[in-house]
Every structure is written in C-alpha cells, then in structure tokens.
Chains A and B, each alone.
Chain A
Amino acid sequence: MKKLIFLPALLLLLGIVVYPWLTGIYQSFTNFHLAHSTYRFTGLQNYIRFFSSAQGLQMIRVTFLYTFLVIVIELPLGIGVALLLNKKIFGINILRTLLVIPLVMPPVVSGLMWKMMMRPGSGVFNYLLGLTGLPNFPWLTGKHSALFSIALIDTWIYTPFVVLITLAGLQSVPSQVLDSAAVDGASKLKVFLHVTLPLVTPHLIIATIFRSIDSMRMFDLIYSTTRGGPGVCTMNIHMGSYLFGIKQLNMSYALASLTILWVFVYALIFSFFSLLRRSQQRL
C-alpha cells in the first residue's frame, strides 16, 4: 500500500518523459515529416544518412570540440576562482554574490550582449584591441575563431557554476586534515595537490558531468550568436537538429540526430560516473 504513494509521480513521469521520449525514438526510425500526415517505418535510414554525411560528421566534431573547450577552460578557471573565494577576506560574501550574476541571466540575453561586444566594427573588444594597436579580430565571424568565441561566452556564464560546486567541496574539507599536513611540513602546493584536490575530486567530477551535458546540448548561445555559421563552423548536433526539424520540417531526421546526441551524452555521463565511483572508493 505504501508503494502506491509513488504511483501518481510514476504515471506523471511515464506520461511526460518516458512516453514522448520513446515516441521520439520510434519516429527517428520512420520518415515522419511535418508536411505529411502519415509516415512509415524506414529502419536505420536516418542514422545511416547522419553518419555517412559530411554534415553529420561535422556536427559531431563541433559538438565534441565545443565540450572539450568548455571543460578545459572552465574547470581550471573555476578551481582557481573557488580557491580565491575560499579565503576569509573582507568583502568575500559580496564577491560570492556577484559571482552568480551571469548564471541568473538568460543565456540568449548573454549571447546577444556578447555578440554586441564582439562586433568587429563597433564592439568594445575590438575597440580595446585598437587602443593597443592590434587589428580587428573576427570573434564570431572568423572560420577558426567563432567556436572559441562562443566557448568564451560559455566560460563567462558557466564558470561561476563550477566555482560554486568547487567552493562547496573546498569548504567541506576538514581543517584538521589541512592543519596536520601543514604541521608535517608540506608546502602549500603539496597540500593542495595531495590533500585538497583528492578531497574535492568528487565535486569536480560532478561539475564536469553537468558542464559536459550542458555544453554537448548547447543551443541558445549558438543560435543567438552565429546560428551555426560561418558556413557550418559552429553547427553542433543540437543546432543542426533544430534546422532539420523546424526549418526543413524533417522531424524524423531531427529526432535521429537528437537520439544520437542523447547516446553521446549518456555515454559520457556513464564514463564520468564510473570515474566518480572510483574516486569515491579511493577516498
């Protein structure tokens, strides 16, 4: 009888998550197109097309490159800022409060704001570069710079998230452990590398998991800045799926692309979780 209490939640979950998800997966194996009222099963056709097209492979490349960039920049930066904010100095609470401002802004607004600042002709970034005698830099319009520029915007928005998680980890490190390491004569660097870092590793893995998921399915920043351009330089799987489904009305291909993205995200999460389990076993 007690178990029945979960029934409404379970039904809700089945109705609004599992059923649409399974329907989406099924439709990815059909030729479901919004311009037609009927569709039929077409097997792996959409998946074969995705993996055999240059466009599909490019989207995979952009998705993983973007995720890699974001993690590689945000994680060390987040740890550094968290270490600074872990000090007991005057005004630290105000700094911690200010830190979350980018996180509470809608990403589309942040994207448009940064797009304006990155404008080659009139943006503040190139104005500052000009003051130092450097030429205009094609932030969002360069073939090789656009994805990095979006990763930079991502860094501004989401590094505070890594900071918050890491800060929580740092504050849970028992002071006695740190004190005894210091008494034993360990340098600050050694204390950080051999005591603090191992103890906050589970927190870092959690931060990495969340940031990986978010950056693999990034849409709003790309849409609000480059829409996947120049050419297809910033076209990740999520942005491509939007174009397939909403612009081309080809929902089955869009759903196949999203299913592929889902598999990638899940594979990444599983590998991170196994890392997390191992790190917890070591502790």
Chain B
Amino acid sequence: MSLVIPSKWLPDNNLQYFLILKNLTFYFVQAYVIFQWQYSFAGWIQPLEKFLNDPTLTSPDYRFEDFYPGLVASHSWSGQLGSPAGGGHLWGIPIQWEVHILAYNRDLLDKAGVAVPQTLMEEFAALPKLTGEFDGKKTYGLCAMLERSWATLDNSFWPPYASWGCTDFNRDMKCVIDSPRSVEFCTKWVEAIREYGPPGTLAMSWYEQLEAFCSGNYAFYSFPDSIRAIITDPEKSNVADNLGYALVPQGPSYQRKSHVWSWGLSMNKETKVPGPAWLFIQWSTLEDVLVKAALLGNVDPPRQSVWLNPQVVEATQEYGGRDVIQQTMEKYAQIRFTPNPVAPAMGDRFVQALQEIYHGEDAQKALSQAARDIDQILKETVSR
C-alpha cells in the first residue's frame, strides 16, 4: 500500500522534517466521538469527505469501505439537532474503538451455582447470591462505577440502560432520562450497585473499577473490551485464570444493546496545510500501519481487514473473547449517546442524579430535575 505525496508538500524532500518544523501535529486532533460532535458544532474541525473523495489526495489503496460501517456512522453527523449519527459530514477517521461485553468470574459463578445471565433480570436476580463471603473473602455481584462524570455512562451503564429500552433524548431532542422506563431502570441499577456493587463506587474512576475487577472479588463486569490485555494478565489480575466473556444481557423486551466507543482523527478547521494534515491522518489509518499498531497494543483496529489479519488474530487470541466482540460489533453495538454538542455535560448531570438516587433522593424527582437542567444546557448551546 502506498501514498502519493505531492512534491509541493515536500520542500526538503523530507516529510518528517516538514511535519516537525511546521508543527503539523497541531493541525489535527484525536478525539472521542462525543467530543467530535462538540467540536464540529462549534466549528472547530472540518468535514473530511472532501479529502477522502479527492483522488489527488487519497490513495486508491486506502479502501475506506474496509472500516467498520458502525464506526464510520458514529463519526458522521449532520450537525442538526435530532438527526441521528450516520448522516451528514464525516468528522473523523476511526483509529481505535471498544465495545462493551460482559466479563464474569467463572469461579465465583460456579461456587454460587449461578449461570451466565442471558437477561438483565437474570443478572439482577443473581447478584444477591454472588455477594457475600466465598472462601473467606468478601465478594460482590456487580463491578460498576458511579463517579460524578460522563465517563460513568461509558463504563457499564449504557448497555443495560439501552437494553432496558431507555435513551437520553427523544426525536425532538427533549431529554427523556426521566421517562417511567428510565426511572424504573435507574432505581434498579443504583440499588444493585448500592447493595451488590463496590464500596466507594461514587468516587470510583474507570481504572479503579478495572482494578477492582482484577482483584477477583467481583462476579460481573460489563466492560470496554480493549482492556482485555490487563484483565487477562496473571501478573495484574487475580481473575485472569477464571475469566469468561459473554454478550451483554438482554433487556425486558429481549433487546440486546451494547455500546461502542470510538476515537477518531479530526482536522482543525483553521489549518493552513489541510493537504499534509489529511496525508498524515490517511497514513495513520492505513491497513499496514494499523496492523503494526494492533501488534503493539491497539487491540481493536477500526478496519475489518486488520481485525481479521492472521498476525493480529494470533497476537490478540490470548486475550480471548474475539467471537463475542465480533458478534457484538456486528449485531448489537452502536454509540448510545444521541448526537449533540453537550454530550459530556449531559453525562455529568445525568450521573449527578444517579448519585443523588444512591443517597436516597426520589428517583423521579432527581431525574426530572436533571432532565430539565440538561434541556436548559442544550438550549443555551444551540440558541442565540
């Protein structure tokens, strides 16, 4: 695979020299999808399809169709509130992703006589049996965080919330986290965390949640799969030898919805050198570059060909779960945030309400107030 570099971009016939001297790195940004929505709405980044579709700028070998369609869709948005991801402009080229699957501690499940849950109701019912003392150690059914940050939604929350039939905004972009179904789920979920989850979950970040699961004292962990290398490393994880993976459980209406998180490379709207910036983005996401990255630890490459590359398969096989991940990616995963420019703030406020419920606030009241605040934040952002 090769890239054709126009000679006008190579004043010294040395691309690396040029990139460093011109500080080209400041002309693009790696960002998670929800931030790309924010940046695109604010006009800080520019659409990439004009570069992608320009044969003088994009190598014929680039094969953009090789990228997972779901990832490309999440990085595409019209910028119009209420329109779903997948249309409009392309704001980023995916470079890394992760989907949520269910990890479980086989040993704990065996000792408690609990089968791998297929539904959330089964999971909730199993939690009391898994929480207590096994072999003299304190165990917990659920490994879930509830830190006051939008990252909480991205760690364990979205799959069960979406599978329960809940979402953040309706088609009119009114926040609906206070719908009866959402109130029902949030009450159950928070109660499950309070009774069967980690102590100190309200101040638990994603890496503390990961450490907690690695302690071997937790049964279920709906987790982003890219950290498999850590939980399967016997030096870092007590659960490495007892680990099982499964699809995230279905909701009451037999819906199974996972969540995908994707990072992409975007281009600064103000860049003076869009061509070379695009060239760098293109190079970073070439098949052979992504194979190298996968072998160095980027275990979830955005190109299907790289995911199926024999070298990558061999290198990532030891972490397990490839079938579950692939099935999740193909059938159940999509970004669960509704595209909007204030998704991080929405997440923060939503989790604040979950924390208030944890501390005994009425769920309907806490979520209704949060929904009103989120509507207000969104209104302030879009109206002038």
Contact of B149 among A34, A121, A227 (CB under 8 A): A227
Contact of A248 among B147, B199, B381 (CB under 8 A): B381
Contact of B198 among A35, A121, A253 (CB under 8 A): A121
Residues from chain A with Cβ under 8 Å of B313 in the complex: none
Question: Which of these binds chain B: A64-72, A83-91, A133-141?
Answer: A133-141
* Contact (Cβ within 8 A) A229 B148: yes
Residues from chain B with Cβ under 8 Å of A229 in the complex: 147-148, 202-203, 351-352, 355
Contact of B359 among A118, A119, A230 (CB under 8 A): A230
A-B contact count (CB 8 A): 90
> Contacts A229-B355, A249-B42 given: A35-B203 contact, CB under 8 Å?
no
* Contact (Cβ within 8 A) B348 A138: no
Residues from chain A with Cβ under 8 Å of B200 in the complex: 118-121, 123, 138, 140-141
Residues 19-63 of A contacting B (Cβ, < 8 Å) = 31, 33-38
Answer yes or no: B356 CB below 8 A from chain A CBs.
yes
* Contact (Cβ within 8 A) A248 B352: no
Q: Which residue of A lies closest to B358 (CB)?
A: A230
0/1 string, A221-234, CB within 8 A of B gives 1: 00001111111100
* Contact (Cβ within 8 A) B355 A231: yes
Residues from chain A with Cβ under 8 Å of B227 in the complex: none
Answer yes or no: B41 CB below 8 A from chain A CBs.
yes
> Contacts A143-B359, A249-B341 given: A35-B202 contact, CB under 8 Å?
no
Report Cα–Cα, A243/B380, bound state, in Å: 14
Q: Which residue of A lies closest to B384 (CB)?
A: A36
Residues from chain B with Cβ under 8 Å of A143 in the complex: 359
Residues 90-148 of A contacting B (Cβ, < 8 Å) = 115, 118-123, 136, 138, 140-141, 143
> Contacts A227-B147, A228-B148 given: A35-B41 contact, CB under 8 Å?
yes
Answer yes or no: A166 CB below 8 A from chain B CBs.
no
Residues 247-269 of A contacting B (Cβ, < 8 Å) = 247-250, 253
Answer yes or no: B114 CB below 8 A from chain A CBs.
no
Residues 137-178 of B contacting A (Cβ, < 8 Å) = 138, 147-149
Residues from chain A with Cβ under 8 Å of B274 in the complex: none
**Nearest CB of chain B from residue A55's CB, rounded to whole Å:** 8
Answer yes or no: B243 CB below 8 A from chain A CBs.
no
Report Cα–Cα, A253/B379, bound state, in Å: 14
Answer yes or no: B201 CB below 8 A from chain A CBs.
yes
Q: How many residues of B are counted as interface, with CB atoms below 8 angstroms from the partner's CB atoms?
A: 34
* Contact (Cβ within 8 A) B148 A230: yes
* Contact (Cβ within 8 A) B201 A141: yes
Residues from chain A with Cβ under 8 Å of B384 in the complex: 31, 36, 38
Candidate in B200, B342, B358, B380 with the most chain A CB atoms within 10 angstroms = B200
Answer yes or no: B38 CB below 8 A from chain A CBs.
yes
Residues 26-42 of B contacting A (Cβ, < 8 Å) = 38, 41-42
Residues from chain B with Cβ under 8 Å of A35 in the complex: 38, 41-42, 341, 381-382
Contact of A231 among B43, B149, B199, B352 (CB under 8 A): B352
**Nearest CB of chain B from residue A53's CB, rounded to whole Å:** 10
Answer yes or no: B212 CB below 8 A from chain A CBs.
yes
Residues from chain A with Cβ under 8 Å of B215 in the complex: 122
**Nearest CB of chain B from residue A113's CB, rounded to whole Å:** 13
Answer yes or no: B377 CB below 8 A from chain A CBs.
yes
**Nearest CB of chain A from residue B105's CB, rounded to whole Å:** 16
Report Cα–Cα, A119/B202, bound state, in Å: 10
* Contact (Cβ within 8 A) B341 A230: no
Candidate in B148, B344, B351 with the most chain A CB atoms within 10 angstroms = B148
Answer yes or no: B315 CB below 8 A from chain A CBs.
no
**Nearest CB of chain B from residue A31's CB, rounded to whole Å:** 8
Q: Which residue of B lies closest to A138 (CB)?
A: B200
**Nearest CB of chain B from residue A42's CB, rounded to whole Å:** 11
* Contact (Cβ within 8 A) A243 B41: no
Answer yes or no: B10 CB below 8 A from chain A CBs.
no
Q: Which residue of B lies closest to A39 (CB)?
A: B384
* Contact (Cβ within 8 A) B345 A247: yes
0/1 string, B330-371, CB within 8 A of A gives 1: 000000000001101100100110011011010000000000
A→B interface (CB under 8 Å)? 31, 33-38, 115, 118-123, 136, 138, 140-141, 143, 225-232, 243, 247-250, 253
B→A interface (CB under 8 Å)? 38, 41-43, 138, 147-149, 198-203, 208, 212, 215, 341-342, 344-345, 348, 351-352, 355-356, 358-359, 361, 377, 380-382, 384
A-B residue pairs in contact (CB < 8 Å), sample of 18: A33-B380, A35-B42, A35-B382, A36-B42, A119-B208, A122-B212, A140-B202, A225-B203, A226-B148, A229-B352, A229-B355, A231-B355, A243-B345, A247-B348, A248-B345, A249-B38, A249-B42, A250-B377
Given contacts A119-B200, A140-B203, A141-B203, 17 further A-B contacts (CB under 8 A): A35-B381, A35-B382, A118-B200, A119-B208, A120-B200, A121-B138, A121-B212, A123-B200, A140-B202, A227-B148, A228-B352, A229-B351, A229-B355, A230-B148, A247-B344, A247-B345, A250-B381
